[in-house]
Amino acid sequence: MSLASQSLSSLRRQLTAGNITSRDIVQDTIEQISARDGEIKAFLSHDPETALAEAEKADLSLPLGGLPIGIKDNINVRNHPCSCASKFLEGAYHSPYDATAVIKLRAAGAIPFGRLNLDEFAMGSSTENSALQITQNPKAPGHIPGGSSGGSAAAVAGDLISAALGSDTGGSIRQPASHCGVVGLKPSYGRVSRYGLVAFGSSLDQIGPLTRTVEDSALLLNALAGGDLRDSTSLDDDVPDYTEGLENGVAGMKLGLPKEYFTDGIDAGVRARVEKAAADLEAQGAEIIEISLPHTEYAVATYYIIAPAEASSNLSRFDGIRYGNRSSEADDILSVYQKSREEGFGSEVKRRIILGTYVLSSGYYDAYYSRALKVRTLIRRDFEEAFEKVDAILTPVTPETAPKIGAAAGDPLKHYLADIFTISANLAGNCGISVPLEPIDGKPVGLQILGPHLGEKTILRTARAVEALGS
């Protein structure tokens, strides 16, 4: 069994016992990538020499001392490329600084390792929108790994590295975690600093971990959580030890099943596994309560107004002058903007910029964007009322298992609808986690557990109970 295929907690025990060294783990990770990533294509790049040098200096007294962690390629790591899987930034930008999440990983002793593939600028749910390469699902070859953090999920699922960071704007951690059979946690909005994350939707984005186990997810959240003066949206609330109480089980908890998430559009096998998980938790002492989130039907439309609007603003900085590649065909200032963006951005990014610019334009702002913000408030209130009755909410992560690569080519609406169960948590700012269930014909299935704002301890405890039932 390779070291890269083991959990962080297992590696940590072996390190502290003196049975292995940090260099052993990093070297094995390098070897696994060399042997297998030519097929999976999770990593866009990695720097073995720097990682090995950092392993030699690892402080094993720290919580993550000597452990390599993969980094999604929209999170800045000093002196490393940050391409966002876009031709606009490919080869044109090396970060001069560390994102706060990376600073915190280093402070906990971890070694940031490599750059992981994603949908371009995190816009997509399959990683097929990457301008640089197509990532395979290691648990279901020929199928998508999900997205946009598909490279991060595939790297963990493919035993290339023990854990990775992703980002989640509308499900981009939880959905690939579900498709690849790993644990994926989206923290509450503000729980983890966004400083150094290349912005897609600033009111929606969150950095979070993709791991082998729930315990590993808690370990990483311990390191990542906390306020940051460089991110005015981050929270200064006390950070608990998320590993405490993981084994307390669900006895006495109230868990909600929202009727709006169990519609005719769900694959029968996915529905059956989620309902079985709920029944298993009930047998462990939880009370299962049917609840309603009545504005769920408006979530997709609301999200695909707000997210593109924020994206169109955030991506305006990529103009061929300040960042990224400049077109060689340009001959004046206007053509620099037009040709650089035309050549640099892929079709999905252009689609969202156009849509976002439209809904923000004069005459349409009130009709679309302003109205979407009001619906967002209604969605958030739905959750607030639900969490007065239940401790956590159980739902599918996606309506179906991972489709084949290319199955939805040319049909962006199908990709958008795949986010139907995940985007509400981003709109409301709540936390959510995907934990693996029994596969369907070898393809992974995830259970989504949603919690209230700053309710990470509750969902981690519930996820651990699900994980224990399957072990």
Task: State yes or no: is 162 an active-site residue.
Answer: no
> Catalytic residue among 7, 83, 152, 172, which?
172
> Catalytic residue among 72, 139, 443, 457, which?
72
Radius of gyration of the chain (CA): 21
- For the purposes of burial, counting CB atoms within 10 Å of the CB of 87, is it exposed (0-12), middle (13-18) or buried (19 or more)? middle
Tell me the helix, strand and coil percentages in the chain, rounded to 5: 40, 15, 45
Alpha carbon distance 138, 115 (integer Å): 18
> Catalytic residue among 9, 22, 125, 148, which?
148
Alpha carbon distance 2, 23 (integer Å): 14
**Residues ≥6 apart with Cβ < 8 Å to 418:** 125, 175, 398, 399, 400
Token pair of 199, please?
A: 């912005």
Are 340 and 332 contacting, i.e. CB atoms less than 8 angstroms apart? no
The number of helix segments (H) and strand segments (E) in the chain equals: 15, 11
Alpha carbon distance 187, 191 (integer Å): 6
Task: State yes or no: is 312 an active-site residue.
Answer: no
Are 397 and 135 contacting, i.e. CB atoms less than 8 angstroms apart? no
Task: State yes or no: is 424 an active-site residue.
Answer: no
Q: Which residues are registered as beta bridge partners of 75?
A: 197
* Active site residue ranges: 72, 148, 172
